[in-house]
Amino acid sequence: MTEATPGRRGGRQLPTADELRIWRDFIETTAALGSRLESRLQGDSSLSTGDYAVLLALSEAQGEAMRSSELASHIGWERSRLSHHLGRMERRGLIRRQECATVPRGAQVLLTTAGADAFRGATFPHLRAIRELFVDALTPEQIVAAGEIATALKARLDAPRTQ
Amino acid sequence: MTEATPGRRGGRQLPTADELRIWRDFIETTAALGSRLESRLQGDSSLSTGDYAVLLALSEAQGEAMRSSELASHIGWERSRLSHHLGRMERRGLIRRQECATVPRGAQVLLTTAGADAFRGATFPHLRAIRELFVDALTPEQIVAAGEIATALKARLDAPRTQ
DNA sequence: ACCTACCGGTTGACGTGTCAATGATGCTAA
DNA sequence: TTAGCATCATTGACACGTCAACCGGTAGGT
């Protein structure tokens, strides 16, 4: 729709100065928002957002357990990243790993009671921080717009041709 | 304005399910956009976005040189982070460091010719990637909205009380 | 039976980021 | 003068992410 006429808009190769200024504001602010959330979570619960994502997925799984690669695809991580992270979480006693009986070569990831406790303690302050720093910072219309922008950006990222 | 009546909106402590879904889409997509830009830049020029930020600042400085802490505050980094990064960039020959004549204990950061070349080679593909993945993915109205959202989020992040 | 190819998971190397501690230097006040 | 004290920059320890290599095992084809 926006790309119907390659004459004006599609012909340009580079962003304008205004577009570039908005781009920088946008990417830097969202990155800063992410790190602020990260450090709030860290201070409130000694968990990273990565820890939180893993614990959330395990909490919602039946038996509070999942196969490793299943967990990886559920939270959208590479297997290697998850393996490293699980190693660190295991050292801190948040999860356990054991061989999977049903699937050969599969590894079950189990929530420990310490992990479940940490997750429960982290949830409320984390959601409150999301509300303070994101929801309350925007008007309802802006929240809707943010959702639409995310959808549009995601569609472009997932599009095969543009790489 | 939005916060005038604590009855409906200000009274709630936690985000709604819809708000939370938008939050996740938003933060995950912007993070993915950042990493895609990162890997595009890496592939096109063997520079990271951190390298690019440093080289951009130095290119625009008179004499293609800046004092270290000046550079740090210009691109919004902690001095420690910059010091580590400059060490890696120096190993790759992109910059040089030397004692500053004017300021005692100050360190001048200088662009090398290799650094300037790398920056020149990286600029065009980087800006093109920004256009493809951000500008072209959004309607003009969405770009404006993205700028306003970034401004609102930044204002909240900078507000002292909410921390 | 054997070779190959894939699959699930781990590991190592390295770049990156934060935090806290450490020099090195100049300023200021007892 | 000397005892703090702030400032500029670096360093070390550690968490985190990606990439490529690896390992053990199952499955298919010959």
Average pLDDT over residues B99-111: 79
User: What are the tokens at B100?
Assistant: 């500053």
Tell me: the pLDDT tens digits for A17-46?
999 999 999 999 999 999 999 999 999 999
Residue B33: burial class (beta carbons within 10 Å; 0-12, 13-18, 19+): buried
Our CA angle for A149, A150, A155, nearest 5°, is 100
Cβ proximity of B120 and B129 under 8 Å? no
**Is A150 close to B29, i.e. CB distance below 8 A?**
yes
SS3 B10: coil
Q: B28, B48, B151: which is closest to A153 by C-alpha?
A: B28
User: What percent of chain B is predicted at pLDDT more than 70?
Assistant: 87
Tell me: the pLDDT tens digits for B112-158?
999 999 999 999 999 999 999 999 999 999 999 999 999 999 999 99
**Is B32 close to A157, i.e. CB distance below 8 A?**
yes
**Residues in chain A with pLDDT values less than 70:** 1-11, 104, 161-163
Nearest residue, CB atoms, A149 vs list B31, B128, B145: B145
Nearest residue, CB atoms, A152 vs list B3, B28, B138: B138
Cβ proximity of B134 and B33 under 8 Å? yes
Whether the model pTM is above 0.85: yes
Distance, C-alpha A108 to centroid of its chain: 22
Determine which helix (DSSP H) or strand (DSSP E) holds A119, and give its type and residue range: helix A113-130
Helices (H), strands (E): how many in chain B? 6, 3
Residue nearest to nucleotide D20 (CA to C1'): A80
Tell me: the pLDDT tens digits for B13-43?
899 999 999 999 999 999 999 999 999 999 9
**Is A29 close to B2, i.e. CB distance below 8 A?**
no
The number of beta carbons lying within 10 Å of the beta carbon of residue B143 is 20
Residue nearest to nucleotide C25 (CA to C1'): B105
User: Closest Cα of chain A to B65: distance in Å?
Assistant: 23
Contacts of A30 in chain B (CB under 8 A): 26-27, 30-31, 34, 150, 153
Q: What protein residues sit with their CB closer than 7 Å to strand D?
A: A 48, 50-51, 77-78, 80-81, 84-85, 88, 104-105; B 35, 39, 67-70, 72, 79-80, 82-84, 86-87, 97, 100, 103, 105-107
Q: B76, B68, B64: which is closest to B107 by C-alpha?
A: B68
Q: In terms of DSSP bridges, do strands B107-111 and B65-67 run parallel, antiparallel, or are they unpaired?
A: antiparallel
Find the Å distance, CA of residue A42 to C1' of nucleotide C6: 40
The residues facing A65 across adjacent strands are A110
Bases along strand C below 7 A from a protein CB: 7-13, 15-21, 23-26
Nearest residue, CB atoms, A127 vs list B1, B14, B150: B14
Rounded to 10°, the helix B140-158/A140-158 angle is 120
* Closest chain B residue by Cα to residue A131: B15
* Sign of the torsion angle spanned by Cα atoms A85, A89, A92, A98: negative
